[in-house]
A and B are shown apart, each in its own frame.
Chain A
């Protein structure tokens, strides 16, 4: 029978050492909610599992000296969703984490795992896009920091090399004058993989007037995408429900969805627009008609 070695390093150096030793035969495991599914379906068959669950350097959520929020890779969705600093300074990420899977999945699944899996439907990713976060990575050659958008290269493809580990994400705080939301459309209310998801952040100093708008969509392209066309269109417009509906229709410009069991290409395109519109309406910051 095939044997699977499991190693539980106690420090980041030990973890890197093990990765160096096993090379491509190893798989890093955090919460295991993605990896175990892949093992079961035999999409991956590593010889060793490196369980990073006890590595202190990659856990915790704290404010950095530079005024950002640092979220350790091991932080679970439940921890991020209930973190006071995240709720106050990056609420869109707390919202996204609160909508992942189910309570069980949120208690096990980690933000590091969500990023490393690099699924175009990963729910924390659109939020991290609009927050313009960056990913801290460590490898044999030391640390590097990658802007979130450069991290993803395609479905399940990322800038992460096989011998590297994600340390955490650095999230610049959203100022008080920013509003934001995260919405996902799934086939049911929980345990649902997004058919389309959208994250929004924008500076709003008077009702309907947005500057610095950032919008990202999940599950509509090979990676999560920023919807720059619609971002530009919203900026400096006075949004009322009618113009919001009209402008939201530009969302599909940056989407190139596919058809799968969860939804057709056409439906996904329209849903990108409608989710954005619905979010804008429900945020309550659009001018009364």
Chain B
């Protein structure tokens, strides 16, 4: 299956592009995607799948939009 990935802020360091498509095996979880991207800090991270907050153990579906960012705050 294909997922669309978008990296933000400090997460951009894991790829030369911040928007790309990835081919993953059917039924892959978010953890699999994070492994693939070699993302180190796996706890302090915010991931949205199709706009919804998700945790590592959740499965991905074909054509999912995955946004990966570091939590932050601001005014």
Q: Judge A-B direct contact (beta carbons within 8 Å).
A: no
- Which B residues have a C-beta under 8 Å from some C-beta of A? none
